[in-house]
């Protein structure tokens, strides 16, 4: 299939460049998804029309005015500043991978085309991790069996946020598939009902192809808790009985998405008063992004890892190599996020592309300009970029915006006071998660941090500036 559990191993491990190219083309090429670019053009035209009716120059200006950023200009300035700060380091990242490609082509006796193609970056990044940092993703997988990762993640969240999870027996709850699990959540001390969550972890025909959560039932008066569902596409156990083994990035994804479940359940808004239950789209990723830090901490990795045969945790030498390699090529990878954000804002700008041809021209122009990598002829990210056809339209920048806030929260409180400090965890639950979208998000963060948020921790994490944390 073209789902992530199938295509990511090909993109990072397949020696044959042509095979990697065919996978990229199958996902983004002219024959992918019935060539749906005209539908994208229709959708953005309708949004422009709606924005005009509401008195805004563009859909992007309308959406940004409703977000934490407050305006399109604030987002434009944010992305421009970040791109400028990242570009020099990103070019160094690019050159490093290009030299690896040159050497690899020489060893394989194949022609070197003197550039990184869209299907090259993941493969040569993986080679860099193996050769320079000793990080072998396939070896590391052996220490992350899915069942252990899931159970340990649930324990960590319970400890951190003062919650208790109880799994319901099969047959005692409504379900749409036999693999789905359901849990009841309550406060550990008061036993107050918080709600329920579903886990639907494996890919199958017709299932949504990304990791996401869905709100099924809202909290209401009378004790009805929220009900939320977490969908993932993590690899299932093999037919020969070998357990499902996760890449470390899969572990990060699971921890991240479960953070969304906790945000949804711990928000204290009632019923359809959505201003109480929801927060701005450019903040909603911050809590989960902050929690990704846990799966890079030694004391947590020692708990999350358990070799599927020996039962031993991840060896310290492998663990330290992973931690050292955490920010490898981070500048180049961040430019990709900026590219996607720019693409989103541009198609929702004052003069949106009118048809498929203009959308194609835009992608062909923006991708090499920002990411340093050419767009393959005829390929178009918009064919699969479903964020832009849902609630992330003109809001994809929110991932980068939220990273600034998440880095500040982690460095200022948890990194200083202890990543498993339950007192800090309860402050986080009550000061950041519980208020939802009420009042001003910046005020909630200032209360948690003890000062207004800033970007110093974020810049340090990207190697752009140095600071004392």
- Active-site positions read 257
Could you write out the DSSP letters of every residue in 313-336?
PPPHHHHHHHHHTTTTTHHHHHHH
Cβ atoms 328, 129 nearer than 8 A: yes
Nearest to 339 by CA among 350, 351, 331, 327: 331
Residue 245 DSSP symbol: B
Yes or no: say if 123 and 14 are a contact pair by the CB < 8 Å rule. yes
CA 377 centroid distance within chain: 27
Q: What are phi and psi of 145, to 5 degrees?
A: -65, 135
Give me the sign of the Cα torsion angle 164, 169, 170, 172: negative
- Extract the tokens encoding 164: 């208790």
Share in percent of the chain as helix, strand, coil (round to 5): 55, 5, 40
Kind and range of the H or E element at 136? none
Q: Which bin fits 378, alpha (ψ -120 to 50), beta or left (φ > 0)?
A: left
Task: Please give the structure tokens belonging to residue 264.
Answer: 């949804």
Report d(CA 265, CA 261) in Å as an integer. Answer: 6
Edge-to-edge strands of the sheet including 212-217? 163-167, 181-187, 193-200, 226-231, 212-217
At 10, give phi and psi (nearest 5°). Answer: -70, -45
Under DSSP, the state recorded for 145 is B
């Amino acid at each position: 299939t073209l789902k992530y559990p199938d295509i990511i191993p090909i993109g990072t491990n397949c020696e044959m460049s042509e095979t990697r190219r065919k996978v990229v083309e199958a996902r983004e090429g002219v024959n992918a998804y019935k060539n749906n670019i005209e539908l994208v053009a229709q959708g953005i035209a309708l949004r422009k029309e709606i924005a005009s009716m509401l008195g805004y120059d563009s859909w992007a200006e309308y959406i940004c005015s409703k977000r934490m950023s407050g305006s399109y200009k604030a987002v434009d300035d944010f992305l421009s500043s970040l791109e400028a700060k990242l570009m020099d380091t990103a070019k160094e990242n690019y050159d490093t991978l290009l030299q690896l490609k040159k050497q690899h082509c020489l060893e394989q006796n194949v022609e070197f085309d003197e550039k990184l193609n869209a299907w090259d970056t993941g493969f040569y990044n993986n080679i860099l991790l193996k050769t320079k940092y000793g990080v072998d993703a396939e070896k590391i997988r052996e220490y992350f069996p899915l069942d252990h990762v899931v159970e340990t993640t649930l324990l960590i969240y319970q400890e951190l946020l003062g919650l208790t999870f109880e799994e319901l027996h099969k047959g005692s709850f409504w379900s749409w598939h036999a693999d789905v699990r359901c849990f009841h959540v309550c406060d550990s001390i008061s036993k107050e009902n918080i709600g329920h969550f579903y886990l639907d972890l494996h890919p199958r025909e017709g299932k949504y192809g990304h990791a996401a959560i869905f709100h099924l039932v809202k909290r209401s008066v009378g004790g009805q808790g929220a009900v939320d569902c977490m969908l993932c596409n993590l690899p299932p156990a093999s037919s020969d009985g070998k357990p499902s083994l996760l890449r470390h990035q899969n572990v990060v994804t699971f921890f991240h998405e479960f953070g969304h479940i906790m945000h949804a359940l711990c928000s204290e808004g009632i019923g359809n008063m959505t201003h109480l239950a929801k927060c701005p789209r450019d903040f909603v990723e911050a809590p989960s992004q902050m929690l990704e830090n846990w799966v890079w901490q030694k004391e947590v990795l020692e708990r999350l890892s358990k070799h599927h045969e020996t039962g031993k945790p991840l060896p310290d030498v492998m663990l330290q190599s992973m931690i050292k390699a955490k920010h490898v090529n981070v500048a180049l990878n961040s430019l990709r996020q900026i590219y996607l954000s720019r693409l989103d804002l541009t198609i929702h700008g004052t003069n949106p592309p009118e048809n498929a041809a203009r959308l194609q021209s835009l992608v062909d122009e923006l991708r090499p300009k920002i990411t340093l990598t050419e767009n393959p002829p005829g390929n178009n990210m918009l064919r699969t970029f479903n964020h832009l056809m849902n609630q992330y339209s003109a809001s994809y920048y929110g991932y980068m915006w939220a990273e600034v806030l998440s880095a500040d929260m982690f460095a200022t409180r948890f990194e200083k006071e202890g990543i498993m400090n339950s007192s800090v965890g309860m402050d986080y639950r009550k000061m950041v998660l519980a208020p939802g979208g009420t009042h001003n998000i910046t005020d909630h963060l200032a209360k948690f941090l003890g000062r207004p948020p800033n970007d110093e921790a974020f810049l340090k994490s990207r190697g752009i500036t140095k600071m004392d944390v």
